[in-house]
Amino acid sequence: MEPGKHYTKEFKLDAISLVLDQGLTIAEAARSLEI
């Protein structure tokens, strides 16, 4: 995570959903979200 960068609760929930619901790895989810 970039220093000083803040993400909304909705963004975080979407990121979690990519991993838990769609089966992506954390790294794949991060690339998908460009973080």
- What is the pLDDT tens value at each position of the chain, 35 positions in all? 567 789 999 999 999 999 999 999 999 999 999 98
Q: What is the pLDDT of residue 5?
A: 82
Q: What is the pLDDT of residue 12?
A: 94
The single residue listed with the structure tokens 């979407």 is 14
The single residue listed with the structure tokens 């794949």 is 28
Q: What is the pLDDT of residue 2?
A: 60
Please give the Cα distance from 19 to 12 (Å, whole number).
Answer: 11
Please give the Cα distance from 14 to 8 (Å, whole number).
Answer: 10
Please give the Cα distance from 30 to 13 (Å, whole number).
Answer: 13
Q: Token pair for residue 26?
A: 């954390």
Q: What is the pLDDT of residue 17?
A: 95
